[in-house]
Amino acid sequence: MITVALLSKWHVHAVDYAKEAMDHPNLSIRLVWDEDPERGREWARELGVPFEADLDAVLGNPGIDGVIVTAPTNIHRDVMVKAAQYGKHIYTEKVLAITLEECEEILAAVKANQVKFVISLPRMVLPYTRLAQQMLADGALGRLTTVRCRCAHSGAVPYEGHPNGFLPAHFFDPEQCGGGALIDLGAHPLYLSNRLAGPARAVTARLTTYYGHPVDDNSAVIVEYESGALGILETSFVSSSSPFLLELHGTEGSLLVENEGVRFKRAADGDACWIVPELPEALPSPMEQWAEAILRGAPTDITEIDAWRLTQINEAAAVSHREGKRVVIGHSPVHA
Q: Where is pLDDT greater, at 253 or 267?
A: 253
- Name the phi and psi angles at 178, rounded to 5: 75, 5
**Percent of all residues in the chain with a pLDDT value above 70, rounded to a whole number:** 98
Mean pLDDT, residues 181-209: 97
Checking if the pLDDT of 334 tops 90, the result is no
Got the DSSP string for 164-191? TTTS-GGGG-HHHHSSSTTTTTTHHHHH
40-89: pLDDT as tens digits: 999 999 999 999 999 999 999 999 999 999 999 999 999 999 999 999 99
Q: Is the pLDDT of residue 171 over 70?
A: yes
Task: Say whether pLDDT at 332 is over 70.
Answer: no
Encode pLDDT of 309-322 as tens digits. Answer: 999 999 999 999 99
Residue-wise pLDDT tens digits, 279-316 = 999 999 999 999 999 999 999 999 999 999 999 999 99
Where residue 161 falls among pLDDT bands split at 50, 70, 90? confident
Check residue 159 and give its pLDDT. 93
Q: What pLDDT shows up at residue 163?
A: 85
User: Which of 193, 218, 188 shows the shortest CA–CA distance to 205?
Assistant: 218
pLDDT digits (tens, 9 = 90+) for 201-226: 999 999 999 999 999 999 999 999 99
The verdict on whether omega for the bond into residue 95 sits within 30 degrees of 0, i.e. cis, is: yes
Q: What is the DSSP letter of 159?
A: B
Taking the model in full, what pTM does it have? 0.95
* Residue partners of 335: CB distance under 8 A and separation at least 6: 104, 107, 304, 305, 308
Q: Which residue, among 70, 6, 16, 2, has the nearest Cα to 41 in the 3D structure?
A: 6
Q: Would you tell me which CATH number, out of the four given (3.30.360.10, 3.30.2270.10, 3.40.50.300, 1.10.20.10), belongs to the domain 123-328?
A: 3.30.360.10
Strands 245-250 and 200-208, bridge-based pairing: unpaired
- How many Cα atoms within 13 Å fall on the side-chain side of residue 307? 30
Q: Domain residue spans in the chain?
A: 2-115, 123-328
pLDDT score recorded for residue 268: 81
The pLDDT assigned to 335 comes to 45
Would the pLDDT of 336 be above 60?
no
The amino acid occupying position 99 is T
Architecture of domain 2-115: 3-Layer(aba) Sandwich (3.40)
Res. 270 pLDDT band, cuts 50 70 90 = confident
Sequence letter at residue 150? R
